[in-house]
Structure 1
Amino acid sequence: MHTPATDDAKWNARALEEIVGNGAGRPVLFTNARVVTTDPLIGTMTGADVLVVGSVIVGVGPGIVTAAQDDNAIVVDCTGTSILPAVVDTVALAGGRGRRSRYVAPLVPGNAADLLIVPDACAPDVAGAVTTLLTRAERVRALIADGEPVLWAGADAPGRATAPAAGVPEAQDLTGDPRVGVWIDREDFLHQELTADGRYDETRGGRPHAYQGRYWIDGDRIDYLDDLGFWAFGEFRGDELHHAGYVMKLR
């Protein structure tokens, strides 16, 4: 639990109330900040705005605030602060990305609204801002994940998400789940049976029980923990299950 510094505790308190109660899905405009996009095309801007709709950044740059009233946006005055990506691409920062399209999570329109907002004095660069988050969270003005406040004015935001408990979870009861059954790849090489008790059993090239273990489904993602001890994953895409280069369908 984070406790805010006394001088910071009231930072945009009204705006936070509006964001938390934002049942109408109003845009949220973070305005008049130094915006460090980490994007090589856009760069860093002063006196700039970041417009968020739902979980997505839809605008970055100066002058967006002029449309705030027209759009019925919730306005967060960020004077004296820097807005940076909350998800930091250290490879890009080290110059290791050859193409802009491969940058991870810069503050550009179309990306997830993962924002870190700290006082300018705490953000000489991206590393300094992240250090503030990790060592002096009470100085953080806001930490936003997918458009939802996690920290605000140095304290935990109301209704914030919390991390799952560490460790291997309990088995899921998947009775009635339409994804339970035998998945077979296009070449009929891999047969992967998912059972309702959260176990899987693979036949490979006619070799039964090649791999066995536990699995968990979270949205469209499936995680596997093999009885040999290694982890793997797959993804449901429509009526297909993609796993380790195989594309399977339920038979």
Structure 2
Amino acid sequence: MNSPFSPELLELINADRTTGHRPLLFANARIVTGDSLIGDFDRGDVLLGGSRVVGVGPGLLTAADDDGALVIDCDGYVIVPVGIDTAQLRGLRPTSFRSPSAIAPGNPADFAIVPTLSGESNVAAVQRQLDEPDSVQVVVVGGTVALWDGQSVRTGDAANSPAAADAPSDRYLGTWIDENDFVHQHLTADGRYDETRGGRPHAFQGSFWITGDRIDYLDDLGFWAFGAFVDGTLHHAGYTFHRS
């Protein structure tokens, strides 16, 4: 399957961020909204207005020309929330509950796009973006493309981030290994991390910031995480790491 996420289309999207106000329309996708009231769609569209979702569901594509939208044809792909409310996803919340992480009108435009797999459940599609990060083709965070065609997108804002401007202390750099030798986290002087999990290299990659004894992570997939340095150890996501 040829990728619809071409460099030329990304150039149009980035150019419009500074020169225009055209909405983005991700069309013809299977959509897992994570919202009990709205439900999911075997085929539908997600319309963005700036940093937020303004519409989701079938039929939005018909007004794309009227709205001057930039259309990204996502036929053969599934759109899933980046922030995962597992209780909502499993139907354990009432239908009146509006999850802030759902792909729903008014919510921040935070989602990922992965290829559709035949017979895959909605829960499995959401989980796949975590278990198989290489399968993620696009990540949108706050209406801005952070990952495109599987590659991290570097914007002017990212180039001027604190991680790029201020090099982290040498005492935190290097490889941190958890007590079971399962996760190896590499922190480098350019403010980037590269994580090996169970021998699988580059499982997660992104930027990090260190403030005092706290470390904040922004993964290239778009999600945030944090950790803390305590007495020469790094505590992150339930793991305790020692510097090798």
TM-score range, shorter chain: 0.5 to 0.7
TM-score norm. by structure 1 comes to 0.58
Distance in structure 2 (CA, Å) of the matches to 1:10 and 1:57: 21
Tell me which protein shows more helix as a share of its residues. 2
Q: How does 1:82-231 map to 2 (within 5 A)?
A: 82-98=78-94, 100-121=96-117, 124-159=120-155, 161=158, 163-168=207-212
Of the structure 1 ranges 42-51 and 153-162, higher mean CA displacement relative to structure 2 is found in 153-162
**Residue 109 of structure 1: how far off its partner (Å):** 0.6
Q: Is the 8 A contact 1:36 1:44 kept in 2?
A: yes
Mark the CA change 1:150 to 1:13 in structure 2 (over 3 Å): closer, same or farther: same
Q: Is the 8 A contact 1:27 1:54 kept in 2?
A: yes
Mark the CA change 1:135 to 1:90 in structure 2 (over 3 Å): closer, same or farther: closer
**Residue 59 of structure 1: how far off its partner (Å):** 0.6
TM-score norm. by structure 2 comes to 0.59
Q: Is the 8 A contact 2:146 2:152 kept in 1?
A: yes
Q: Is the 8 A contact 1:37 1:108 kept in 2?
A: yes
**Residue 129 of structure 1: how far off its partner (Å):** 3.3
Structure showing greater radius of gyration is 1
Q: What is the aligned partner in structure 1 of residue 10 from structure 2? A: 16
Unmatched tracts of structure 2, length 5 or more? 159-205, 215-244
Percent of residue pairs bearing the same amino acid type: 38
Instruction: Decide which of 31, 35, 48 is 1:35's aligned counterpart.
Output: 31
**RMSD of aligned C-alpha atoms?**
2.7
The number of residue pairs the alignment matches comes to: 165
**Residue 151 of structure 1: how far off its partner (Å):** 1.1
2:118 maps to 1:74: no
Q: What is the aligned partner in structure 1 of residue 170 from structure 2? A: none
Q: Is the 8 A contact 1:12 1:77 kept in 2?
A: no
Q: What is the aligned partner in structure 2 of residue 62 from structure 1? A: 58
